[in-house]
Amino acid sequence: MINFLPQNNFRRKKTFFILAIILFFLVFYFFYNLNAVNSKNNQVVDFIVEPGQGSVIIANRLKAAGLIRSAVIFELYVWQQGISSHLLDGHYALAKNLDIIQVAKILSQGAVINSKEQSLTFIEGWTNQQYANYLVKQGFANQLADFLSLTQHKANWWDNYSVLVSRPKNLDLEGYLFPDTYRFFNNATLTEIVEKILANTEIKIKPDWRAEIGRQKKTIHEILTLAAILEKEVSSSTDRKLVADIFYKRLAVGMALQADSTVNYATGQSDTSVSIKDLQIDSPYNTYKYKGLPPGPICNPGLSAIEAAIYPKTNSYWYFLTTSDGRVIYSKTHAEHVAAKAKYLK
């Protein structure tokens, strides 16, 4: 009789050895990724956990921000610790020399406001003038002219931002200061504030958006100019995409945009319906008097408006109006539009 026991023992030992190696690498992988991205880098990253964000989203955002090595290991760790559903929303200042254990502990305990920092929120549709007013109120500027002068006169560091390339050289940064929530040290200079906002604008206008803008043979300046009008004219993403198509059709046939928001920008008013007198104002921003896009953006648009300007929704309308309760009424002909104005704008 042939004895196979030695061969079976060899196979078992070989299998055990392979499993031991796999286990070793899994343990090594786990603890390697548990460690800090760079234990010698104490750079602090501003990290925001939005309300309702779960551990999977938070893990991926931490990885994208360069704060952890592995999103999967972070998820496994917080799950094993029983805190995956207890990560708290808020503003955090996280250093890159923190490991996953430390990051998870901080996020599960909640954000502690750093008294040396301040959160600033710029609202979608604000003009640079409104940004200036806000910064004065928050103590970052002594007077409006400090901020406005900084955004009106080109500085060498403006060349660091590709988003500004298509901006006409005679225009200021209106439309290019992305509205968002930012954190700044209390002693931050206005230059540092503008630089941080522009850096965010660079990120928000994503590579695929830029590629699509180029494919359409448009410029970022043209997109932001139309997006700013959309921001002021209608409020929902759906309406903005429909109205964007209306405006593009008008531009294509040489028809005036006839946007009240641009007239308001020229007059400095905020009327929902401009007067006959206002319509006569001689300004390149009077899109009743002058065809084509105005020279530049009339405010700082948000993502919804920018996306609508890039990806309009094709439709058969040529006219629209917004009612007092915010509804948008569309018309295919001028006669229908006149009737709608008589009905809804009494």
Condensed to tens digits (0 to 9), the pLDDT of residues 242-264 reads 999 999 999 999 999 999 999 99
What is the C-alpha to C-alpha distance for residues 59 and 57, in angstroms, rounded to an integer? 5
At 51-74, the pLDDT tens digits run 788 899 999 999 998 899 899 989
Residues 182 and 256 in one domain: no
Structure tokens at 183: 């954190």
- Residue 320 domain flag: no
- Whether the per-residue pLDDT at 11 is higher than 60: the answer is yes
Structure tokens at 113: 């406001």
**What residues does 181 pair with on adjacent strands?**
121
pLDDT mean across residues, the chain? 88
The domain total for the chain is: 3
- Residue 74 domain flag: yes
Q: Does residue 73 contact residue 109 with C-beta atoms inside 8 Å?
A: no
Q: Which range is least confidently modeled, 113-117, 131-135, 151-155, 316-320?
A: 113-117
Residues 256 and 182 in one domain: no
- Residue 59 domain flag: yes
Residue 125: helix, strand or coil by DSSP?
A: coil
- Residue 331 domain flag: no
- Residue 197 domain flag: yes
Residues 146 and 175 in one domain: yes
Structure tokens at 99: 């490991």
Residue, of 109 and 124, whose pLDDT is higher: 124
* Alpha carbon distances (Å) from 154 to 117, 198, 202, 221: 28, 13, 17, 16
- Residue 100 domain flag: yes
Residues 90 and 142 in one domain: no
Contacts of 275-278 spanning 24+ positions with Cβ under 8 A: none
CATH number for the domain harbouring residue 60: 3.30.1490.480
What is the C-alpha to C-alpha distance for residues 102 and 215, in angstroms, rounded to an integer? 45
What is the C-alpha to C-alpha distance for residues 299 and 160, in angstroms, rounded to an integer? 22
What are the DSSP E strand ranges found in 187-243? Answer: none
- Residue 30 domain flag: no
Give me the domain span that covers residue 51: 44-109
What is the C-alpha to C-alpha distance for residues 287 and 277, in angstroms, rounded to an integer? 14
User: In angstroms, what is the C-alpha Rg of the chain?
Assistant: 28
| Most confident option among 32-36, 91-95, 172-176, 186-190 | 172-176
- Residue 87 domain flag: yes
| Most confident option among 96-105, 145-154, 246-255, 337-346 | 246-255
What is the C-alpha to C-alpha distance for residues 343 and 190, in angstroms, rounded to an integer? 48
Average pLDDT over residues 89-116: 79
Residue, of 153 and 273, whose pLDDT is higher: 153
Torsion over CA of 122, 127, 128 and 131, rounded to 10 degrees?
-30
At 280-327, the pLDDT tens digits run 889 999 999 999 999 999 999 999 999 999 999 999 999 999 888 889
32 pLDDT tier (thresholds 50, 70, 90): confident
